[in-house]
Amino acid sequence: MKVVYSIRIDKRLREEMQKYNIKWREEIENFIARKTEELKEEEILRETEEKLKDIKGVKRGEVARLVREDRDSN
């Protein structure tokens, strides 16, 4: 299901956009999807690091490295 999300942009920017044969709605939707996924991953990483902060023997940043390594392997 789709919803409408409107924004105001500078008139000159709109004129520049119209010069190119690009499906702007798709471009914007893809950008938002990538950005929200990135933010979710960062949030999970912060939460995981916070939970593991008190575990002895784990170097700072090690959890982030392991999570990134796992994420990049998929």
Give the model confidence (pLDDT) of 3-26 as tens digits. Answer: 999 999 999 999 999 999 999 999
Which pLDDT does position 25 carry in this prediction?
95
pLDDT at 32: 97
Asked whether the beta carbons of 35 and 49 are under 8 A apart, the reply is no
5 torsion bin: left (phi>0), alpha (psi -120 to 50), beta (else): beta
Per-residue pLDDT tens over the stretch 44-71? 999 988 887 777 676 778 888 888 888 8
Per-residue pLDDT tens over the stretch 34-48: 999 999 999 999 998
